[in-house]
Amino acid sequence: MPSLIALSTSARNALAAPGGPHRFSGRRSELTMARRLRFRPASRGPAWTGPARPVVLLLLLGLGACAHHPTQTSEPIISSLTATPDTLGPADSTVVQCMARDPAGNSLVYDWVTDARLRIQGAPPNQFYLYTTQSNHRTFYTGASYAYPLDTAWVQCFVRDLKGGEVSQVIHIVLHH
């Protein structure tokens, strides 16, 4: 996006004020100070200090230029996050599946995060996250530490489109002895 200063300067040079076309003259720091703007006729004449009105017009012109190119950012949408089975005993495993889509049709990546009560297939020991995977499902195993006879673990899935869109959802899994 062009800077507002560049847009303002070109718009200011194109402005025709009473008395003929005018050209901006002043230091760069004066661009942000509405009462310090100085214009002088393009032909000849003394410098004059203009009111705040030209700045307001220039800002509106600058904002109008941006309105022609709206940015379309859309986040992915998670339709479901399921664990099968959703209850685990010692040495059991579950498959967590995330059904998601991107409204803009971008490809998606999945980040998986859990607590210390579960281990993630494909992750090193004692690492409870796995980032930027292509698969929408992941297998989780019961870890070495959970409170007997009953406990609850969680898995969070982040879905990203690599263009800034991100959404996440959490599922809880019951652990028993």
Mind giving me the DSSP string for 63-85? HHHHHTS-------EEEEEEEES
Least confident of 22-26, 79-83, 100-104, 166-170: 22-26
pLDDT at 127: 95
pLDDT at 73: 63
Could you state, in order of their start, the residue ranges of all structural domains in the chain?
4-67, 77-176
pLDDT at 88: 94
What's the average model confidence in pLDDT over 150-172? Answer: 95
Q: Where are the beta strands (DSSP E) in 93-176?
A: 93-101, 109-114, 118-120, 129-133, 137-142, 150-160, 166-176
pLDDT at 144: 76
Roughly how many angstroms between the first and final C-alpha of the chain, as a whole number?
59
pLDDT at 59: 37
Residue 141 burial (CB count, 10 A): 13
DSSP 8-class letter at 14: H
Report d(CA 134, CA 108) in Å as an integer: 7
- For the question of whether the overall pTM of this predicted structure is more than 0.75, the answer is no
User: Per the CATH hierarchy, to which homologous superfamily does domain 77-176 belong?
Assistant: Immunoglobulins (2.60.40.10)
With beta carbons less than 8 A apart as the criterion, state whether 168 and 159 touch: yes
Split at pLDDT 50, 70, 90, the class of 124 is very high
Site of tokens 């490809």: 107
**Mean pLDDT computed over every residue of the chain:** 73
* pLDDT of 106 above 50: yes
What's the average model confidence in pLDDT over 118-123? Answer: 95
